[in-house]
């Protein structure tokens, strides 16, 4: 009887250990290049996310051109200039010098903020496009792809940030922002008031910002190739 | 105040009046328009506009802009840097990812006009400068040259910090061509071009574009000359190879065209069996009945022919020929001469049936030739055509006859002429003019010699005896040697049958012989003659038969009618055709016996040549038989049939 209880205890302990270790299991399987595992360098990671962001921006550009064909919003509208993207509260550098002056960590945070801010709006944009009678399925698929890519890009940038943290390039404060439990910005629900076209216009710009910031980061941190 | 307003109005009126007096119209300026805005490096940008009509008054332009989410209106900070009608925004005034609302205003004394506003975002109006420092060099890769083009981005565009990402494109062309060859180089700043023309000069240009923007202008042209890397010797070898290939092709073609004849030359075809009337296809079909049925000639052997005794001719039927018939000799001579000339060898491999026909013709020609020569030697006077014809006919008759049946003393045996003569019905041709036909016939008969290489010799004795040998190379031909029968003298009453092979076809010339001692008992009636013998002068002695088979010796019965002493020919029914002539004194069988060749000659020459009508007029039967050595009483014929005349 005591032997059985012992066995049960051992099993319980093992289960507990395994469960506690499950949190750590999300860590990469490959540690420090052991067992012939190919570790992606930071440069490779950056190249991947930059390509990803370029593709995302390309899709948003195409959708925007389609919107302009269908809607052709008048350029003479007075209220057009007062368009206000919901991400305008996020402080983003508007010039090269400003971007270069910004610290890597800040820049990484800006990127992550932007990508996070667009997670929900893009999903709803896709939903509205799918139900819109004017758009064909091709456009709604693009919207869905765009939404997925934004999500993937965010994940990728988080990985890059992790890598940089590991390398000691940036501090650890970025990781807190990446968690899904992070609180949304103050005007996070402002986007619901925006029309689809304005959403697209804003996202097109923001995706360009993300791409550009990533490039700047890359050329500042790992300037070997293509800089 | 009223006064001032009135003054103002007055002044305005005056102004308008003066302007009107001057004859010009003034108006507010026309509407300007912003043509384009460009940023070379995404840090500054420039806008250009064009003005409308100025309205006749000096007009000024101003550019105002408003930034996104701001109500403040700013005027253009720099009108000069970029040139006329332009506005330059420097770095401090440029914000990226910010929407600008730009308007141009044109104003003159009478008013101002606003242009349409334009919203721009600097990010999307980037048009960089062209790439700089384009260098082209020629490098070698295993002996083959290639171009390496390298360049630098425009110095203003900051690609090092990653602010701008540029992609490049270059184009290449040969100096003498018109079409450019485009190459997209991506983000790299170096490019290789292969497959160059040896010794050619190339032009290279490069341009760039940001990932979202406009293409730059093409860079300045770079010239590069490729050295001659193809050696001079190679074209010569290529030429030689092509030439040889060409010659080879021609030879092959010639061989193909003449292959058949070449094959025949090397391997001559074996002649196959050729039987007249024989169809080879039947042989291939393999039905023996059909094959052999084709070989069977209907009518031979003559099943319906009369019994053998009928074939045996005991006597000759002589029809009374008329004078005109003799004249037809010439025509027939001509016909037969021509016929032999025209007779070419048929498709048979041998020279059978035709040769037999020509054989006698050739002999006749030579006989005539020699006879002719003899006459000339004796210097006959009188070259009348008529006389010539007569002589010719006489000679022809003479020698033809001699050819046929005259015995030859020297050689000692006589052979007949099987299948050598054409059938008699050929005589029955239309009348031709005597002279022309004769002369023509003469030409034919005397001119060419159709003698085979086997040689035909023809000798003539003084005595008129002819020795003739005709040796033919073909195995189907027969040689005829006529010799003088030794026993001629002793058998005065010997009747010789003119016996020939069953296939003997005696030509008309051959048959035209002077027969000695032929007497026709009565004119215009069929008379029977017997072949008595052949005398030493090689003449067939015929004896007329009266009322049956009785024979009459010698000249006991002088015929009152014509003298049938000449064999005209043999018709196809194997009958001797004799022609009659007016008998002369002294024409006597017995005379013939003792007479020498001269006598016979006299006989021949003295008698007139009667004309011959249709050959049907004189029809004689000739004994036919098979090959058997016959030594008749006078023993002069070798291959005559073995049939003997009864009761001679």
Distance CA A132, CA B425 (A): 117
Q: Do A215 and B68 touch (CB under 8 A)?
A: no
Query: Cβ separation of A208 and B119 shorter than 8 Å?
Result: no
- Residue ranges of the alpha helices (H) in B258-351? 259-266, 280-285, 288-295, 308-311, 324-342
B589 vs A83 pLDDT, higher one: A83
Cβ separation A215–B99 shorter than 8 A: no
pLDDT surpasses 50 at B83: yes
pLDDT > 90 fraction of chain A, expressed in percent and rounded: 33
pLDDT of residue B335 exceeding 90: no
More confident residue, B642 or B151: B151
Q: Look at B203 and B488; give whichever has higher pLDDT.
A: B203
Taking 80 as the threshold, does the pLDDT of residue B401 lie above it?
Answer: no
CB contact (8 A) between residue A54 and residue B211: yes
Q: Could you tell me which residues come within 8 angstroms of residue B531 by beta carbon, excluding any fewer than 6 positions away?
A: B316, B495, B496, B497, B498, B540, B541, B542, B543, B645
User: Which residue among B95, B187, B212 sits closest to A94, beta carbon to beta carbon?
Assistant: B95
Asked whether residue A224 carries a pLDDT value surpassing 60, the answer given is yes
CA distance A179 to B581: 156
Task: Show the tokens assigned to B319.
Answer: 């029809």
Q: Is the predicted pLDDT of residue B36 greater than 70, yes or no?
A: yes
Q: Band of the pLDDT at A146, cuts 50, 70, 90?
A: very high
Q: Percent of chain A having pLDDT more than 70?
A: 74
Residue that wins the pLDDT comparison between A183 and B246: B246
B146 vs B139, B184, B194, B206, CA distance in Å? 5, 17, 5, 17
How far is B186 from B60, CA to CA, in rounded Å?
Answer: 45
Q: Please give the structure tokens belonging to residue A83.
A: 């368009």
Q: Cα(B94)–Cα(B176) distance, rounded to whole angstroms?
A: 46
pLDDT of residue B206: 96
Q: Is B173 exposed, middle or buried (0-12, 13-18, 19+ CB in 10 A)?
A: middle
Cα-only R_g, chain A? 22
Q: What is the mean pLDDT of residues B237-244?
A: 92
**A52 phi, psi to nearest 5 deg:** -65, -45
- DSSP type of residue B368: H
Task: Enumerate residues 6+ apart whose C-beta is below 8 A from A73.
Answer: A80, A197
Chain A contacts of B157, Cβ < 8 Å?
Answer: none
Percentage of residues in chain B having pLDDT higher than 90: 25
Give the position of tokens 């022919």.
Answer: B305
With an 8 Å Cβ cutoff, are A100 and B161 in contact? yes
Which comes out higher in pLDDT, residue B176 or B285? B176
Under an 8 A CB cutoff, do B162 and A208 touch?
no
Instruction: Specify whether the CB–CB gap between B569 and B425 falls below 8 A.
Output: no
CA of A84 vs chain B CAs: smallest distance (Å): 7
A64: nearest Cα among B323, B123, B22, B595: B123
Label residue B75 left, alpha or beta by phi (over 0 means left) and psi (-120 to 50 means alpha).
beta
Top-confidence residue, B363 or B396: B363
> What pLDDT, on a 0 to 100 scale, did the predictor assign at position B365?
59
Give the residue from B97, B100, B162 with the most A CB atoms within 10 Å of its CB, the best one to mutate.
B162
Rounded distance, CA B587 to CA B521, Å?
Answer: 14
Residues of chain B positioned with their CB less than 8 A from the CB of A68:
none
Query: Max Cα separation, chain A?
Result: 88
CA distance B231 to chain A (A): 42
Residue in B159, B162, B187 closest to A218 by CB = B162
How far apart, in whole angstroms, are the C-alpha atoms of residue B90 and residue B19? 43
Q: How far is CA A66 from CA A123, B201, B300, B535, in A?
A: 19, 46, 109, 135
Longest dimension (CA), chain B: 194
pLDDT at B251: 94
The CA distances from residue B429 to B334, B335, B364, in Å, are 10, 8, 20
Contact B162 A227 (CB under 8 A): yes
Residue B551 has pLDDT above 80, yes or no: no
Cβ–Cβ gap A227/B98 under 8 Å: no
CB distance A220–B161 less than 8 Å? yes
- Are A219 and B66 within 8 A, CB to CB? no
Which tokens hold the place of B630? 């016959």
Q: Collect all residues of chain B within an 8 Å Cβ-Cβ radius of residue A100.
A: 161
C-alpha triplet A166, A169, A174: angle, nearest 5° = 75
Mean pLDDT lowest among B216-220, B409-413, B565-569: B409-413
Helix (H), strand (E), coil (C) string for B422-462 = CCHHHHCCCCCCHHHHHHHHHHHHHCCCCCCCCCEEEEECC
Q: B537 in contact with A at a CB cutoff of 8 Å?
A: no
Q: What is the mean pLDDT of residues B209-214?
A: 91
* Yes or no, beta carbons of B42 and A96 under 8 Å apart: yes
Which of A172-181, B205-214, B367-376 is the most confident on average?
Answer: B205-214
Is B377 a residue whose pLDDT tops 90? Answer: no
Span B295-309, average pLDDT: 61
A91-126 pLDDT, tens digit per residue, is: 999 999 999 999 988 899 999 999 999 999 999 888
- Closest chain A residue by Cα to residue B115: A76
* Structural element, H or E, at residue B20: helix B2-22
| Mean model confidence pLDDT for chain B | 66
Q: What is the reported pLDDT for B530?
A: 61
Rounded Cα gap, residues B27 and B4, in angstroms: 26
Q: How confident is the model at residue A170 (pLDDT cuts 50, 70, 90)?
A: confident
Q: Which among A61, A95, A100 has the least Cβ separation from residue B95? A: A95
CB contact under 8 Å between B94 and A95, yes or no, is yes
How far A69 CA sits from the closest chain B CA (Å)? 17
Q: How confident is the model at residue A210, as a pLDDT?
A: 94
Q: Do A96 and B69 touch (CB under 8 A)?
A: no
Distances from the Cα of B54 to the Cα of B107, B145, B563, angstroms: 8, 61, 148
Give ipTM to 2 decimals.
0.79
Tell me, what's the pLDDT at A53? 95
Contact A73, B119 (CB under 8 A): no
pLDDT for A137: 79
Q: What does DSSP assign to residue B619?
A: -
B253 touches chain A (CB under 8 A): no
Average pLDDT (B138-158) is 92
Alpha-carbon separation of residue B140 from B144, B147, B223 (angstroms): 5, 9, 18
Mean predicted confidence (pLDDT) in B362-369? 56
Contact assignment for A96 to B187 by CB distance below 8 Å: no
Q: What is the 3-state secondary structure (H, E, C) of B90-108?
A: CCCCCCCCCEEEEEEEEEE
Max avg pLDDT among B69-73, B456-460, B492-496: B69-73
Q: How far apart are CA A64 and CA B557, in angstroms?
A: 149
Q: Are B337 and B441 in contact (CB under 8 A)?
A: yes
C-alpha distance from A223 to closest chain B C-alpha (Å): 8
pLDDT over 60 (residue A142):
yes
pTM value is 0.51
CB contact (8 A) between residue A88 and residue B69:
yes
| pLDDT tens figures, A149-166 | 999 999 999 999 988 888
Three-state SS for B559? coil
pLDDT at position B270: 84
- Which chain A residues contact residue B42 at CB under 8 A? 96
Best to test chain A binding among B89, B96, B185 (most A CBs inside 10 Å) = B96
What are φ and ψ of residue B66, in 5° steps? -135, 140
Q: Does B121 touch chain A (CB under 8 A)?
A: yes
**pLDDT for position B27:** 84
Q: Does B116 touch chain A (CB under 8 A)?
A: yes
Question: Residue A156's pLDDT is what?
Answer: 93
Token couple for B90 = 């420097």
Kindly determine whether residue A95 and residue B159, on different chains, have CB atoms separated by under 8 Å. no
Mutate one of A49, A212, A214 to test the B interface: name it (highest B CB count within 10 A): A212
Q: Is pLDDT of B477 > 50?
A: no
Q: How many Å lie between the alpha carbon of B157 and the closest alpha carbon of chain A?
A: 11
**Facing B99 at nearest CB: one of A54, A81, A218:** A81
Whether A88 and B160 lie within 8 Å, measured CB to CB: no
Residue B86 confidence (pLDDT) above 90: yes
Q: Provide the pLDDT for residue B428.
A: 39
> Rounded CA gap, B647 and B645, in Å?
6
Residue B74, number of CB atoms within 10 A of its CB:
14
DSSP code for B331: H
**pLDDT average, residue stretch B546-557:** 44
Looking at domain A58-221, its CATH class is mainly alpha
Q: For residue B224, what is the enclosing H or E element?
A: strand B222-225
Section B475-502 average pLDDT = 40
Long-range contacts of range B139-147, CB-CB < 8 Å, 24 or more positions apart? B141/B194, B143/B229, B144/B194, B144/B229, B145/B196, B145/B226, B145/B227, B145/B229, B146/B192, B146/B193, B146/B194, B146/B196, B147/B172, B147/B192, B147/B193, B147/B194, B147/B196, B147/B202, B147/B204, B147/B224, B147/B226
Q: Is B94 on the interface with A (CB under 8 A)?
A: yes
User: Which among A64, A93, A208, A211 is the top mutation candidate for probing chain B, defined by the most B β-carbons within 10 Å of its own β-carbon?
Assistant: A208
- Chain B CB contacts of A198 under 8 Å are none
Confirm or reject contact between B161 and chain A (CB < 8 A): yes
Residue B171 has pLDDT above 90, yes or no: yes
Q: Which residue has the higher pLDDT, B302 or B248?
A: B248
Residues in A whose CB is inside 8 Å of some CB of B read 54, 57, 61, 75-76, 80-84, 88, 92, 94-97, 99-100, 205, 208-209, 212, 215-220, 223, 226-227
The Cα of A128 is separated from the nearest Cα of chain B by a number of Å equal to: 26
CB pairs under 8 A between A and B: 71
* Mean pLDDT, residues B601-630: 41
pLDDT value of position B423:
43
Highest-confidence segment of A51-60, B512-521, B634-643: A51-60
Cα–Cα distance for residue pair B412/B482, rounded to 1 Å: 7
Which residues from chain A sit within 8 angstroms of residue B97, using beta carbons? 92, 94, 205, 208-209
Strand partners, B103: B64
Q: How far apart are the two ends of chain B, measured CA to CA in Å? A: 190
Q: Say if B473 is an interface residue toward chain A (CB within 8 Å).
A: no
> Of A57, A80, A216, which is closest to B162 when you measure between CB atoms?
A216
Read off the pLDDT of each residue in B415-426 and give the average, rounded to a whole number: 42
pLDDT value at residue A131: 82
Residue A9 structure tokens: 């205890």
Does the CB of B211 have a partner CB in chain A at under 8 Å? yes
pLDDT at residue A1 in the model:
64
Judged by a CB distance cut-off of 8 A, whether residue B158 touches chain A is yes
Rounded-to-integer distance, Cα B95 and Cα B101, Å: 13
Answer for the pair B535, B484: CB distance below 8 angstroms, yes or no: no
pLDDT above 70 as % of chain B = 41
Instruction: Specify the pLDDT at position B163.
Output: 93
The secondary element (H helix, E strand) that includes residue B62 is strand B60-67
User: Strand, coil or helix: what is A172?
Assistant: coil
| Helices (H), ranges, B109-232 | none
Residues of A in Cβ contact (< 8 Å) with B66: 81
């Amino acid at each position: 009887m005591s032997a059985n209880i012992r066995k049960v205890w051992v099993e319980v302990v093992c289960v507990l250990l395994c469960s506690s270790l499950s949190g750590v299991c999300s860590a990469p399987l490959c540690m420090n290049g052991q067992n012939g595992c190919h570790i992606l360098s930071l440069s490779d990671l950056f190249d991947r996310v930059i390509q990803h962001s370029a593709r995302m921006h390309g899709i948003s550009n195409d959708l925007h051109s389609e919107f302009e064909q269908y809607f052709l919003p008048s350029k003479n509208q007075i209220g057009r200039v007062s368009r206000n993207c919901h991400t305008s509260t996020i402080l983003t550098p508007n010039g090269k010098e400003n971007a270069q002056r910004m610290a890597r960590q800040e820049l990484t945070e800006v990127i992550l903020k932007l990508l996070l801010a667009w997670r929900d709006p893009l999903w709803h944009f896709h939903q509205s496009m799918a139900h819109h009678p004017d758009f064909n399925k091709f456009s709604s698929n693009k919207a869905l792809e765009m939404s997925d890519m934004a999500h993937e890009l965010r994940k990728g940038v988080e990985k890059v940030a992790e890598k940089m943290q590991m390398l000691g390039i940036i501090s650890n404060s970025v990781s807190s922002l990446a968690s899904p439990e992070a609180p949304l910005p103050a005007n996070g629900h402002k986007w619901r008031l925006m029309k689809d076209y304005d959403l697209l216009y804003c996202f097109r710009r923001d995706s360009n910002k993300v791409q550009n910031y990533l490039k700047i980061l890359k050329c500042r941190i790992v300037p070997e190739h293509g800089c | 105040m009223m006064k001032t307003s009135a003054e103002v109005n007055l002044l305005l009126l005056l102004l308008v009046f003066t302007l009107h007096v001057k004859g010009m119209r003034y108006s507010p300026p026309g509407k300007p328009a912003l043509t384009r805005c460009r940023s070379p490096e995404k840090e500054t940008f420039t806008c250009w506009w064009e003005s409308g009509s100025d309205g006749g008054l000096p007009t000024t332009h101003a550019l105002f802009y408003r930034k996104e989410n701001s109500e403040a209106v700013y005027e253009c900070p720099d009108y000069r840097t970029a040139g006329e009608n332009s506005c330059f925004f420097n770095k401090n005034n440029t914000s990226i990812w910010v929407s600008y609302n730009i308007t141009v205003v044109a104003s003159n004394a009478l008013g101002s006009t606003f242009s349409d506003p334009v919203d721009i975002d600097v990010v999307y109006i980037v048009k960089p400068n062209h790439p700089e420092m384009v260098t082209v060099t020629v490098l070698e890769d295993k002996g083959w040259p290639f171009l390496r083009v390298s360049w630098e981005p425009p110095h203003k565009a900051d690609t090092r910090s990653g602010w701008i990402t540029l992609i490049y494109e270059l184009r290449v062309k040969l100096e003498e061509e018109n079409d450019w060859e485009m190459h997209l180089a991506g983000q790299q700043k170096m490019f290789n071009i292969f497959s160059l023309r040896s010794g050619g000069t190339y032009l290279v240009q490069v341009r760039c574009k940001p990932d979202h923007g406009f293409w730059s202008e093409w860079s300045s042209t770079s010239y590069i000359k490729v050295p001659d890397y193809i050696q001079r010797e190679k074209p010569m070898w290529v030429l030689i190879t092509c030439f040889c290939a060409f010659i080879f092709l021609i030879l092959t073609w010639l061989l193909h065209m003449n292959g058949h004849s070449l094959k025949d030359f090397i391997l001559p075809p074996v002649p196959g069996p050729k039987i007249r009337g024989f169809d080879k296809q039947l042989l291939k079909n393999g039905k023996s009945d059909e094959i052999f049925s084709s070989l069977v000639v209907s009518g031979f052997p003559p099943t319906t022919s009369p019994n053998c005794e009928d074939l045996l001719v005991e006597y000759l039927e002589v029809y009374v020929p008329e004078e005109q018939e003799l004249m037809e000799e010439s025509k027939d001579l001509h016909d037969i001469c021509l016929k032999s000339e025209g007779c070419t060898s048929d498709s048979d491999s041998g020279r059978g049936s035709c040769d037999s026909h020509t054989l006698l013709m050739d002999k006749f020609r030579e006989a005539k030739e020699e006879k002719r020569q003899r006459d000339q030697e004796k210097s006959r006077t009188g070259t009348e055509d008529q006389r010539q014809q007569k002589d010719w006919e006489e000679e022809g008759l003479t020698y033809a006859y001699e050819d046929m049946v005259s015995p030859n003393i020297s050689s000692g045996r006589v052979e007949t002429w099987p299948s050598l003569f054409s059938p008699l019905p050929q005589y029955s041709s239309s009348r031709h003019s005597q002279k022309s036909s004769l002369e023509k016939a003469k030409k034919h008969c005397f001119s060419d010699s159709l003698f085979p290489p086997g040689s035909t010799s023809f000798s003539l004795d003084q005595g008129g005896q002819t020795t003739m040998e005709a040796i033919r190379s073909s195995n189907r031909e027969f040689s005829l040697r006529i010799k003088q029968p030794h026993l001629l003298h002793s058998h005065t009453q010997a009747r010789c049958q003119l016996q020939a092979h069953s296939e003997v076809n005696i030509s008309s010339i051959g048959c035209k012989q002077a027969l000695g001692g032929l007497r026709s008992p009565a004119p215009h009636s069929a008379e029977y003659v017997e072949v008595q013998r052949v005398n030493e002068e090689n003449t067939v002695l015929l004896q007329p038969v009266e009322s049956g088979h009785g024979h009459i010796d010698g000249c006991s019965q002088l015929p009152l009618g014509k003298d049938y002493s000449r064999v005209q020919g043999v018709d196809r029914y194997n009958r001797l055709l004799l022609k009659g002539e007016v008998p002369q004194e002294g024409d006597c069988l017995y005379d013939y016996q003792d007479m020498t060749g001269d006598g016979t000659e006299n006989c021949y020459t003295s008698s007139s040549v009667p004309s011959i009508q249709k050959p049907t007029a004189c029809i004689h039967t000739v004994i036919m038989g098979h090959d058997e050595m016959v030594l008749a009483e006078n023993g002069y014929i070798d291959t005559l049939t073995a049939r003997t005349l009864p009761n001679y």
